[in-house]
Structure 1
Amino acid sequence: MKKFLSCIILVSFLFSVVGHQEVEGQVDYEKYGRIAIALVKEDYPGAPVQEYQYLGRKQVNGDKVTDSFEFRVTEQGRTKRVIVNVTHDLKNKKTLDISVQEQEAQ
């Protein structure tokens, strides 16, 4: 019985640790997602942002990574695909570079 309870406690602990790590990673890119949203809203004032998708993270070098976000924006009746790349340092959590690429939506 003691072994059974010990196993349950151990499994519960492992699930809580794994869940906590996923939340921390999620919060990490959400910060840069908010930056990307603010930039798109500033560049396209009054244009509704229809879709927003996190495209993923790429390692640049060392502690530098780039998070990419895709937006669908309608401006003057035309839908555009806007990609925002936010490059930042994982150690000091400083934003190093932001780039915006606009394409016609297909």
Structure 2
Amino acid sequence: MKKVIMMLLGVFLFIHAGSISTEASEKPDYEKYGKIAIAVVQADYPENEVTDYEYKGRKTVAKNFVEDGFKFLVATKGTEFNVIVTVQHDLRNKKLLSLKVTEQK
């Protein structure tokens, strides 16, 4: 339960921190969701080291809805595995729709 609360708090903070930035310094929207993905992986694997991160690209899901994929390499006790984070969001209102974490060993 504590893990879920921390993850939701992190997502909330990143979403609102991104909305504070000015238009002139606006970064690509996938960067905002990449920061959210990083926070989620760090919350889900607090004892492990995230050793690599890659933006896998964007897919169109429906009109104005897209899915960004992120791949993380996580190391634990001499072994490594991938964690895939998929973030669906609305391009019109820049709102997060869903976030899915999948572990690949």
TM-score interval (norm. to shorter)? 0.7 to 0.9
State the distance in 2 between where 1:96 and 1:75 align. Answer: 31
Answer whether contact 1:86 1:95 (CA < 8 A) is retained.
yes
Answer whether contact 1:44 1:75 (CA < 8 A) is retained.
no
Letter in 1 for 2:91: L
State the distance in 1 between where 2:46 and 2:78 align. Answer: 14
What is the deviation of 1:78?
Answer: 1.9
Q: Please, what is the CA RMSD of the aligned residues?
A: 1.4
State the distance in 2 between where 1:76 and 1:103 align. Answer: 16
State the distance in 1 between where 2:40 and 2:89 align. Answer: 16
Instruction: Report the 3-state secondary structure (helix = DSSP H, G, I; strand = E; otherwise coil) of the residue aligned with 2:28.
Output: helix
Q: Moved runs in structure 1, 4+ residues, more than 4 A?
A: none
TM score, norm. by length of structure 1: 0.72
Instruction: Report the 3-state secondary structure (helix = DSSP H, G, I; strand = E; otherwise coil) of the residue aligned with 1:45.
Output: coil
How many pairs does the alignment contain? Answer: 81
Structure number with higher helix proportion: 1
State the distance in 1 between where 2:76 and 2:98 align. Answer: 25
Q: What is the percent sequence identity of the aligned residues? A: 52
**Where does residue 34 of structure 2 map in the other structure?**
33
Once the two structures are superposed, the pairs formed by residues 1-106 of structure 1 within 5 Å of their partners are 27-104=28-105
**Where does residue 13 of structure 1 map in the other structure?**
none
State the distance in 2 between where 1:81 and 1:31 align. Answer: 21
Q: Which runs of 5+ in 2 are unaligned?
A: 1-24
State the distance in 1 between where 2:76 and 2:89 align. Answer: 29
Instruction: Compare CA radii of gyration and give the structure with the larger one.
Output: 1
TM score, norm. by length of structure 2: 0.72
